[in-house]
């Protein structure tokens, strides 16, 4: 957007196919929206009631700059109980979302020109967040035939003398891949070998279907170079509450705090109280939600694999499916637009998530199975030879 009052670094169009499809959707009636990862369920009633009661008690003011001490203590308990790992209070900061936590971390660790490796397909904001922090994003392609696991040899090939950090996202948005213990162990070893910081985005940690989630915090040898980002948005169906946390070395946490004081000051107090209840009651809150979305993705995957020009890997985690549409002969954007035009189903082109996403589309199973059934009934009626 070239304009004399806009900073020149924003003159270049940075819009994505995701935004373009969203605009197109407004032209249609009865659109089934499988685009954004915003769960259709309402936050657990217990969380809402507790937050309301806490607000009435006076928890409506600024909190400590690193977050409500009671919430930080609950996070320490969480890591002891779930991973048998001690996290010091000074290694924790509460942030107004994991997205903000990522930006604060990047702003804390990057000098101009530092490179940050992101495995592609990647969560769309990573790229521009790195650029906002004056870093250079470096894409590392992952492939469907490898289960979208990181290839260690390819990782070493993209490391240069300017490499500063690598962002890991498992369970992964958009592919749904869950990195194996061996993949994570190899990444840890490479980080030590090349003196890299690891930023591990673990916001879908509750959504693993085949085995328990493996957090990077379990690898003691990288604790001095590891930043873990978490969020209550997906694991607790609290997207609108905007609450997350950063765990990392004290020096990085302190720097994040200083930067945050000049951005949002503190995270929302009422949301932090809600997060306390969520953590304390996670073993009753999370299982029904995880089962609900697992049932949905398994149903959707079955329907996808019954359509001749579509395929998808067995779901491993998250509530996303990354659908291979290469047999259609269409680009990602063309396939997404065709599905919207002919079936009134909104999806996201795979190239929104990096260059290696061409040939794919992503859906979020954030509607109930009846709506998913309606969506795939429509999609399977598309006749490519006639409709393309």
String of DSSP letters for 242-307: --EEEE--HHHHHHHHHHHHTTTSS--HHHHHHHHHHHHTHHHHHHHHHHHHHHHHHHHHHHHTTS
Q: What average pLDDT does the segment 322-337 reach? A: 96
Q: What average pLDDT does the segment 345-368 reach? A: 95
321 pLDDT higher than 60: yes
pLDDT of amino acid 324? 98
| CA distances for 62 relative to 67, 76, 145, 338, angstroms | 9, 22, 49, 49
Helix (H/G/I), strand (E/B), else coil: 9: helix
388 pLDDT higher than 60: no
Continuous segment of H or E residues that includes residue 201: strand 197-201
pLDDT of amino acid 19? 65
pLDDT of amino acid 37? 85
Q: For the segment 339-356, what is each residue's pLDDT rounded down to a tens digit?
A: 999 999 999 999 999 999
pLDDT of amino acid 21? 66
Domains, the chain, ordered by start: 8-43+284-387 (3.90.1150.10), 46-282 (3.40.640.10)
pLDDT of amino acid 196? 98
327 pLDDT higher than 90: yes
At 304, the pLDDT band (50, 70, 90 cuts) reads very high
291 pLDDT higher than 80: yes
Q: How big is the chain by its Cα radius of gyration, in Å?
A: 21
pLDDT of amino acid 151? 95
Q: What average pLDDT does the segment 132-139 reach? A: 97
User: Using CA atoms, how far apart are residues 95 and 153, in angstroms rounded to an integer?
Assistant: 35
Q: What average pLDDT does the segment 360-380 reach? A: 97
User: Using CA atoms, how far apart are residues 214 and 21, in angstroms rounded to an integer?
Assistant: 35
pLDDT of amino acid 44? 97
219 pLDDT higher than 80: yes
387 pLDDT higher than 60: no
Q: For the segment 244-253, what is each residue's pLDDT rounded down to a tens digit?
A: 999 999 999 9
pLDDT of amino acid 18? 63
User: Using CA atoms, how far apart are residues 191 and 61, in angstroms rounded to an integer?
Assistant: 40
Q: What average pLDDT does the segment 84-110 reach? A: 98
Q: What is the mean pLDDT of the chain?
A: 95
pTM here is 0.95
At 24, the pLDDT band (50, 70, 90 cuts) reads confident
pLDDT of amino acid 16? 65
Q: What average pLDDT does the segment 8-19 reach? A: 73
At 229, the pLDDT band (50, 70, 90 cuts) reads very high
Continuous segment of H or E residues that includes residue 346: strand 345-346
Higher pLDDT, 44 or 2: 44
pLDDT of amino acid 26? 79
pLDDT of amino acid 8? 87
Q: What average pLDDT does the segment 223-230 reach? A: 98
Q: For the segment 159-212, what is each residue's pLDDT rounded down to a tens digit?
A: 999 999 999 999 999 999 999 999 999 999 999 999 999 999 999 999 999 889
State percent of the chain over pLDDT 70: 97
């Amino acid at each position: 957007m070239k304009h004399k009052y806009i900073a020149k670094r924003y003159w270049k169009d940075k819009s994505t196919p995701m935004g373009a499809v969203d605009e197109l959707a407004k032209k249609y009636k009865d659109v089934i929206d499988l685009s954004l990862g915003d769960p259709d369920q309402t936050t657990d009633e217990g969380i809402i009631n507790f937050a309301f009661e806490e607000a009435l008690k006076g928890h409506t003011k600024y909190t400590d700059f690193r977050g409500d001490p009671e919430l930080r203590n609950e996070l320490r308990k969480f890591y002891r109980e779930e991973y048998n790992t001690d996290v010091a209070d000074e290694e924790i900061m509460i942030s107004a979302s994991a997205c903000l936590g990522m930006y604060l971390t990047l702003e804390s660790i990057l000098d101009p020109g530092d490179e940050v490796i992101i495995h592609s397909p990647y969560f769309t904001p990573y790229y521009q967040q790195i650029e906002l922090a004056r870093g250079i994003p470096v894409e590392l392609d992952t492939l469907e035939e490898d289960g979208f696991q990181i290839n260690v040899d390819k990782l070493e090939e993209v490391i240069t003398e300017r490499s500063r950090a690598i962002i890991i996202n498992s369970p992964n948005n958009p592919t749904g891949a869950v990195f194996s213990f061996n993949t994570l162990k190899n990444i840890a070893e490479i980080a030590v070998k090349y003196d890299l910081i690891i930023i591990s985005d673990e916001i879908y940690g509750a959504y693993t279907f085949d085995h328990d989630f493996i957090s990077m915090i379990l690898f003691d040898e990288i604790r001095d170079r590891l930043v873990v980002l978490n969020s209550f948005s997906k694991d607790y169906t609290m997207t609108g509450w905007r609450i997350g946390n950063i765990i990392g070395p004290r020096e990085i946490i302190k720097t994040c705090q200083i930067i945050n004081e000049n951005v949002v000051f503190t995270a929302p107090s009422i949301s932090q109280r809600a997060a306390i209840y969520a953590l304390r009651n996670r073993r009753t809150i999370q299982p029904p939600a995880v089962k609900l979305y697992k049932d949905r993705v398994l149903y959707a995957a079955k329907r996808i694999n019954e359509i001749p020009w579509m395929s998808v890997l067995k779901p491993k985690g998250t509530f996303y499916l990354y659908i291979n549409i290469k047999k259609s002969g269409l680009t990602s954007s063309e396939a997404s637009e065709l599905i919207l035009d002919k079936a009134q189903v909104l999806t996201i082109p795979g190239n929104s998530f990096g260059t290696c996403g061409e040939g794919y589309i992503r859906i979020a199973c954030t509607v109930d199975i009846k709506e998913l059934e309606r969506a795939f009934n429509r999609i399977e009626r598309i006749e490519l030879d006639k409709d393309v």
